[in-house]
Amino acid sequence: MADIIKLLPDHVANQIAAGEVVQRPASVVKELLENAIDAGASNVKLIVKDGGKSLIHVVDNGSGMSEIDARLSFERHATSKISAAEDLFNLNTKGFRGEALASIAAIAHVDLQTKLDGADIGSHLKIEGSKVISQEVSATPKGTSIAVKNLFFNIPARRNFLKSNQVELRHITDEFQRVALVHHEVAFQFYNNGSELFNLPIESFRQRIVHVFGNRMNERLVPVEEETEVLKVSGFICKPEFAKKSRGEQFFFANGRFIKSPYLHHALIAAFEGLIKSEMQPGYFLFLDVDPGSIDINIHPTKTEVKFDDENTLYAILRSTIKHSLGQFNVVPALDFEHDNNLQTPYSYQGKEAILPRVTVDSRFNPFDEGSQITKKAGNTFRKESAEGWENLYVDSVENDTPFSSVHFESEIETPDIFEGETEDLDTNQITFQLRRKYIVTTIKSGMLVVNQNRAHQRVLYERFLGDDTLKQGASQQLLFPLQLEFTVQEIEQLKGLCENLAVLGFILTFDNEEQVTVSGIPNIMTETSIGMVLAELVENRNDSISPADFMAKTLCKTIALKTGQAMDAESQMALVNDLFGCKESKLDPFNRIIYTTIETEAIEKKFM
C-alpha cells in the first residue's frame, strides 16, 4: 500500500488549534488584552461591535513590534516570552505558547498596525484565514492596534453556535473585568457599539473594584492582607451582609492570573460560615501570590484551573486570614445599620427573620369565599375544573379513621390518582400543619400530602403574573418616597432593556444617570422592602433564553414568594394549598421543581408490619 500519511497544511493546523484557543469572541478579547499587558502598555482600549462577532479591536500603547516580528507573531509557536522549557517555571507574562495570534488569524480577518517605540515608521498587516493579504509600512502611533473582524467567517458551524450579541457581550465583559481588576496600574477603556461601558484610569486596586462594580461597592469592602512563607494574600472581601445569591463577584488572581479554584473557594465559604446563609455567596477579590515554582501554569491557555503544590496549606492559611479580617474589621457578627437601607438586601441579614412580604396569603382573603382577594386578582373566579381535583384529595377522616384501615386499603389503591374519582365536598375542617416551616402537611384520600410552601407559592404567584390582566395593565402603587438605587453602568443598561416589561408589571422607573435609577412605583402585590432585591435579581440573573415577560414573572415570584422558614397560620396554609390546586399546573413550580409529594397510606401501613 502506498504511503498515506501527510502533514496537514499550516492553515488547516491553525484552524484546528484555533478551535481550542478561540471558543467565542470573549476568548479573543482575553488573548488580545493579555498581549497588550505583556507588551507593557499603560493604556488599553477595547472596542467591540455586535457582541464581538463583527469586531474586536484592541489598541495599546505598549512596546509595539518590528516589521519582522509583526509578521512572525502570526506563526504558530512564535513567542517572545519563552525560549527554553525552564522559562515556564519563571513566567511573569500571560502568554507563552505563541498560539493565540496564529489561531485568531486562522479564523478571522485581522488588521494589525504596530510600531516600536522610537521607530519612524510602523507596519500594517492584513491577514484573512491565515493568508497574508497585505503588508505595508504605515504611520501609526507607538504600540499595537489589532482589529479582529468577522470571527469564524470560515467556520459557519462555529459562527452559528455563538449566542446572542448580549450574551457574547456578557462573556466579553467578564474577561475584560478579570484583566482590568488585576491590572489596576493600567488604564482601560471599553466601548460597545459606540457607547462607553468602562473608562478606568490608572488607580488603586480598591478604586478599580469600585470603578468596575459601582460606587456602592466602596462601603462593602474589607481589606485582607497576610504574608506567610508559602502564600501572600491581599485584596478585599465583601462584608457578609452583602453576600449575594449569584457567584458574580468572586475573583482569585494567582500570581496575577485570574483563576478558578473550587477548593480555595471553599476555604472562603468556610471562613464565612455562620455569617451568611448557606445559599448565599460572599464577594471576594483576592490576590494569591505563591512561588511560581509551586504552581502549575502549564495548562491550556483558555482554561483557568491551576494546580498548586500544597493546596491544603493554602486552604488553611486562606481560611484563617479571612476569618481574621472579618474579626478585625468588626464585621462579625454585628450588622451595620448605617448603610443606605435601600441598598440592603433583606435576605442577607444574618439571623434576622426574613421579612414576610405583605403579599402572603394571610388574612387578606378567604379561600373558601368566592370573592377572595387572590381569586379576584386572578381575574376570574376560582377555577372550578381544576379545583375539583383538589377537593377530591380530601378524605372524610372519620370514615377512614378506623383501626382496621386495611379494610379500606384495597379500595384506596383503586384510585391511585389523587385527582380522579368522585368529587367530595371541601372539608373546611381539614387539618394542616407546617413541618419545619418548610412543608405544609395535610391528609388526602390516599394518604398524606406534603407541599413545599415556597415552591407552591411561587407557582401561584407565577400564574397570576402571567395571567393577571389587571397586573398587565400596570396596577401600580406609587411610592410616597421614591427610592434611589445605584447600579453599575452595565446593570443600568440591562434594566433599560427590561424597562418596557417592568412598566407593564407596574414599575415606574426613571433613569437619573448612568449609575442610578429612581423607583417611584411598584406592582401592587410587591412590598417596598423587596424592591432592591427584585431589581438586583433582575440584573444579576438575566437569562436570555426565555422571554422578558417570563423572566420577570419568574424573578418576581422567586423573590417575593413565601420563604422556607416563614411561619404560616392554619388559614394561610389551607389557602395556599387551595390556590395551588387551582393552578393550571400544580405539580411543578416555575423552575420545574416538584411542588408536592404524597405518601400513600399503604406505605405507612407497611412500616407497621
In this chain, which stretch among 28-36, 121-129, 259-267, 509-517 interacts with ligand ADP, using CB under 6 A? 28-36
Q: Which is nearer to Mg ion, 112 or 267 (CB)?
A: 112
Residue 134 Cβ vs Mg ion, minimum distance, rounded to whole Å: 23
In angstroms, give the least distance from the CB of 186 to ligand ADP: 12
- Residue 111 near which of ligand ADP, Mg ion, none (CB within 5-8 Å, type-dependent): none
Work out what residue 73 binds among Mg ion, ligand ADP, none; the CB cut-off runs from 5 to 8 Å by kind.
ligand ADP
User: For residues 87 and 544, which CB has a smaller minimum distance to ligand ADP in the complex?
Assistant: 87
What's CA 161's distance to the chain center, in Å?
21
Binding of ligand ADP at residue 144 (CB under 6 A)? Answer: yes
160: how many CB neighbours lie within 10 A of its CB? Answer: 8
The dihedrals phi and psi of 556, each to the nearest 5 degrees, come to -60, -45
Name the pairing type of β-strands 55-60 and 109-115. unpaired
Q: Which partner, Mg ion, ligand ADP, none, binds residue 78 by CB below 5 to 8 Å per kind?
A: ligand ADP
Nearest residue (CB) to ligand ADP, 112 versus 418? 112
Rounded Cα gap, residues 430 and 432, in angstroms: 6
According to the binding rule CB under 6 A, does residue 111 interact with ligand ADP?
no
- Select the binding partner of residue 324 from ligand ADP, Mg ion, none (C-beta < 5 to 8 A, by kind): none
Q: Which stretch binds Mg ion (CB under 5 A): 93-101, 382-390, 413-421, 585-593?
A: 93-101
Footprint of Mg ion on residues 1-40 (CB under 5 A)? 35
Stretch that binds Mg ion, among 91-99, 169-177, 264-272, 375-383 (CB under 5 A): 91-99
The answer to whether 239 and 297 have CB atoms below 8 angstroms apart is: no
Minimum CB separation of residue 22 from ligand ADP in Å reads 12
Helix ranges restricted to H, 329-449: 373-377, 384-391, 397-400, 405-413
Q: Which is nearer to ligand ADP, 96 or 409 (CB)?
A: 96
In this structure, the dihedral spanned by the alpha carbons of residues 354, 356, 221 and 304, taken in order and rounded to 10 degrees, is 80
Which residue, 491, 534, 206, is CA-closest to 342?
A: 534
Question: What is the footprint of ligand ADP within residues 69-108 (CB under 6 A)?
Answer: 73, 78-81, 95-102
100 binds Mg ion (CB under 5 A): yes
Q: Please measure the distance between the N-terminal and C-terminal CA atoms of the chain and give it in whole angstroms.
A: 75
Contacts of 247 (CB under 8 A, 6+ apart): 281
Q: Is 95 in the site for Mg ion (CB under 5 A)?
A: yes
Task: Kindly state whether residue 31 participates in binding ligand ADP, applying the rule CB under 6 A.
Answer: yes
Task: Name which of Mg ion, ligand ADP, none residue 127 binds, using a CB cut-off of 5 to 8 Å depending on partner kind.
Answer: none
Q: Is 511 in the site for ligand ADP (CB under 6 A)?
A: no
Question: Which H/E stretch holds residue 510?
Answer: strand 508-513
**CA nearest 254: which of 220, 237, 238, 230?**
230
The listed partner (Mg ion, ligand ADP, none) that binds 29, CB under 5 to 8 Å by sort, is none
Q: Which is nearer to ligand ADP, 51 or 301 (by Cβ)?
A: 301
Q: For residue 403, say if its preceding peptide bond is cis, omega within 30 degrees of 0.
A: no
The Cα 465–Cα 553 span in angstroms is: 6
> What is the rounded CA–CA span in Å between residue 53 and residue 153?
10
Residue 129: name its binding partner from ligand ADP, Mg ion, none (Cβ under 5 to 8 Å by kind): none
Q: Rounded to the nearest 5 degrees, what angle is found at the Cα of 566, between the Cα atoms of 563 and 567?
A: 150
Render the burial of 465-488: b for 16+ CB within 10 Å, e for the rest. bbebeebeebbbeeeeeebebbbb
From the list ligand ADP, Mg ion, none, pick the one residue 97 interacts with, judged by a Cβ distance below 5 to 8 Å according to partner type: ligand ADP
Q: How far is the CB of 72 from ligand ADP (least distance, A)?
A: 7
Q: Which residue is nearest to ligand ADP (CB)?
A: 95
Identify the CA nearest to 476 among candidates 519, 517, 512: 519
CB 149 within 8 A of CB 55: yes
Determine the Cα–Cα distance for residues 272 and 236; give it in Å rounded to an integer: 14
- Which CB atom, from 80 or from 598, has the smaller least distance to ligand ADP? 80
Nearer to Mg ion, 147 or 238 (CB): 147
Is residue 36 near ligand ADP by the rule CB under 6 A?
yes
Q: Between residues 31 and 67, which has the closer beta carbon with respect to Mg ion?
A: 31
Size of the site for Mg ion (CB under 5 A): 3
- Answer with the entry of ligand ADP, Mg ion, none that 554 interacts with (C-beta below 5 to 8 A by kind): none
Euclidean distance between CA atoms 563 and 453, whole angstroms = 7
- Residue 63 partner contact from Mg ion, ligand ADP, none using kind-dependent CB cut-offs of 5 to 8 Å: ligand ADP
Kindly tell me which of 22 and 314 has the beta carbon lying closer to ligand ADP: 22
- Which residues, listed in sequence order, are joined to residue 521 by a DSSP beta bridge? 478, 508
Question: Using the rule CB under 5 A, is 73 a contact of Mg ion?
Answer: no
Return the SS3 of 194.
Answer: coil
- What residue type is 168 in one-letter code? E
**Residue 62 partner contact from ligand ADP, Mg ion, none using kind-dependent CB cut-offs of 5 to 8 Å:** ligand ADP
Q: Which three cell numbers stand for residue 462?
A: 407565577
Nearest-CA neighbor of 230 among 285, 323, 307, 293?
293
Q: How far is the CB of 300 from ligand ADP (least distance, A)?
A: 12
Binding site for Mg ion (CB under 5 A): 35, 95, 100
Binding site for ligand ADP (CB under 6 A): 31, 35-36, 39, 60, 62-65, 73, 78-81, 95-102, 144
